[in-house]
Structure 1
Amino acid sequence: EYVLNGTKQWITNGGDAEIYTVIAITDKSKGPRGASAFVIEKGTPGFTFGKKENKLGIRSSSTRELIFDNCRIPKDNLIGKQGMGFIAAMKTLDKSRVGVGAQGVGVAQGAFDAATSFAKTRIQFGAPVISFQAIQHMLADMATHIEAARALVYAAAKFIDTGAKDVSKESAMAKLFATDVAMKVTVDAVQVMGGSGYMKEYPVEKMMRDAKILQIYEGTNQIQRNVIGQALIKETANKK
């Protein structure tokens, strides 16, 4: 058996999910190659949860710390081979990051739709604000960025579906671009709607708060740039 000790912070659905995949160090001397992946069920002795975090956004999902205190798990709970946990985690992120990009597209589209609808009905100086060029330009940029993000996410997903061995760069690009677009579009949606956009009676302030985490989880967007940069170095080396 294995005995787990330690904590892991910021776990989405922590305490609500029944089954957890945990990456733990089984051989400190091997660095990343010393990490292994395990399946652990809720209720296992020695496995508990911290408090529910009070978050800025995505408040409908629970986020808690996982706490392991002499948590004993059988060898059968090992996923794959010992020492393959880090590789399994990285391959998982290569797939899941496109999903986060898709979240970004959805949030951005929702904010754009709300802002456009508002701009059509909000009357200022005797005319709907959508008739003002300044508002039109903001909406035009929002729409263009959303379509570009959607195309990149679809392209990355299609590339993954081909069964390509290395999808890290494409996945990182989709996550990076689409979530940055989500943040910008939601902020601009609030701006288009003015004071109304800042009020909880309208959905865009929530979308703006929800968009921020997309730039952080599944690897921050700074990490995505690292992944892309390293991939470009490899591609350049292979062309020599």
Structure 2
Amino acid sequence: MISFSPTEDESAFVDVAQGFAKDVIRPMARDCENNRAVDAEIIAKAEEIGVASLEFPEHWDGLELPLISQAQMFQALSYGDLAVVQGLPGAGDAASIIRLDPESPVFDAYKKAGQRGVWPNVAFIDAFNKEEPWAEEMQINKNGNGYTLNGVSHPVRLGAEAEYVAVAAVDTDDEPVVLWLQNPPGGERWSVKAGDYRLGLLSAGLAKLQFDDAGIQADEVLAQGDEARELITQGQTRIRVLQAAKAVGLMEAALEYATEYTAERKAFGKVIAQFQGVSFKIAKMAIETRIVNHLVWDAATKVDAGKKDAVEASLRALYRAHRSSLFVTDAAVQMLGGHGFVDEFPVEKWARDAQAQAGLYGRGHDLITRRGERIVNEATGAKRGVLQ
């Protein structure tokens, strides 16, 4: 039997994250959204507790936490506000790529910059899955020992202020490749197309990145071929789990807020939580939240243990997290009635953030399709093995 009971160290980290989320992040979330940036006070506190270095190895001065510990921390932080957490500066999703190959000389400059006190922002462009329509807009051409990069990315978090860009893609020869680009001071290796692309996650620095004949040198190539394919697969798996964990934190916030509201608000002489339709919906919201929480923690433990089905577990967790977070946040808006659409109440913001989160990290149809393909491929491979 798998136990999800946290260790003492994990509990201590989560307690710190929960206090930070309630006391600092939640009260300042709306201001951060209005300013389209995370407040400096939040950033300073996040740096103090090491949020930016959870994935990094100890010899990078990182915490090198297991994925299950990180999932619990990000879940707790996102209870404060998902958009703020997505906008915290640092390596972002690229941290999972660094975790998997920290000795690569490609990262030397970034490592030195971070160990001076502040980890620079990294935008991670995942254009590896060609079935994504926008992925075809990224063209990577082999150029001697390097590459030439053209096209525009989908909106990525931290893109607006990124000093580095990590790209996971397939080149025009159908070879997987992982690239690591630095924009030197005053450099113009890419241009930023900022905007409110999905009306949510407005504190996360969302931006599309435009590349026009950007030259990639050989020492900026992290991996190619089968090595790149494996690196991307493992990196995507870790990223999915962490993003699903953040969605759980968002769901917990919406569930708690809606529950407290309906327990206090009265209609026709009694609190509205006593009406059957309301109580049933609250119960369904709670069930969905617990289901996703279990799937996320199960996936995290499988990744930490190196289980064969870890990739599938991550796809399942993120798919359900997106579906359930959309339901829970929308239901929270409905529970508040007309107040649900007023920005004095946080639920309308959370509903927008849930939509943006699902858009950034894979639509439900895409995730379930990838999971189905993996099941079929594994079954076909197993069958061939028996026949041989």
Shared fold (TM-score greater than 0.5)? yes
> In the alignment, does 2:186 pair up with 1:22?
no
- Paired residue secondary structure (2:202): coil
Q: Aligned to 1:47, which of 165, 173, 189?
A: 189
SS in 2 for 1:62: coil
Matched-pair contact (CA < 8 Å) for 2:302–2:309: no
- Asked whether the equivalents of residues 155 and 360 of structure 2 are also in contact (C-alpha less than 8 Å), the reply is no
- Aligned-pair CA distance for 1:231: 2.7
* Structure 2 residue matching 1:43: 3-state secondary structure: coil
1:147 corresponding residue in structure 2? 290
1:36 is aligned to 177
- Residue 38 of structure 1 aligns to a residue whose secondary structure is strand
Which whole-Å deviations, capped at 9, do the CAs of 1:38-78 have from their partners, x for residues lacking one?
Answer: 21112374412233111310001112222223333432111
Q: In the aligned structure 1, how far is the partner of 2:147 from the partner of 2:212?
A: 9
In structure 2, the partner of 1:5 is 149
More strand by share: 1
CA distance in 1, matches of 2:292, 2:168: 32
**Cα deviations across residues 93-147 of structure 1 (Å, max 9, x unaligned)?**
1111111211221111111111011111111111111121111111011111111
Q: Distance in 1 between matches of 2:298 and 2:365?
A: 22
Determine helix, strand or coil for the equivalent of 2:156.
strand
Q: How many correspondences in the alignment?
A: 236
| Equivalent residue letter for 2:266 | I
CA contact (8 A) 2:244 2:296 kept: yes
AA paired with 2:183? K
Q: Which amino acid aligns with 1:6?
A: N
Q: What RMSD, in angstroms, separates the aligned Cα atoms of the two structures?
A: 2.2
Q: Is the 8 A contact 1:14 1:49 kept in 2?
A: no
Give the alignment's TM-score, normalised by structure 1. Answer: 0.88
Q: Percent identity?
A: 26
Is 1:138 the counterpart of 2:281? The answer is yes
The 1:69/1:43 distance shift into structure 2, 3 A limit, reads farther
Contact between 2:191 and 2:210, CA under 8 Å: does it hold in 1? Answer: yes
Specify the alignment match of 1:224 in structure 2: 367
Q: Tell me the TM-score normalized by structure 2.
A: 0.56
Give SS of 1:216's match.
helix
Letter in 1 for 2:352: R
SS at match of 2:208: strand
2: distance between equivalents of 1:86 and 1:236?
20
Distance 1:84 1:98 in 2: 22
Find the residue that maps to 1:65 and give its secondary structure: strand
* CA distance in structure 1 between the aligned counterparts of 2:368 and 2:157, rounded to whole angstroms: 24
Amino acid at match of 2:156: I
Structure 1 portions without partners, runs of 5+? none
Residues 110-121 of structure 1 aligned to structure 2 (within 5 Å): 110-121=253-264
TM-aligned CA deviation for residue 25 of structure 1 = 5.3
Within 2, Cα distance between the matches of 1:218 and 1:89? 15
Q: Which has the higher contact order (CA 8 A, sep 6+)?
A: 1
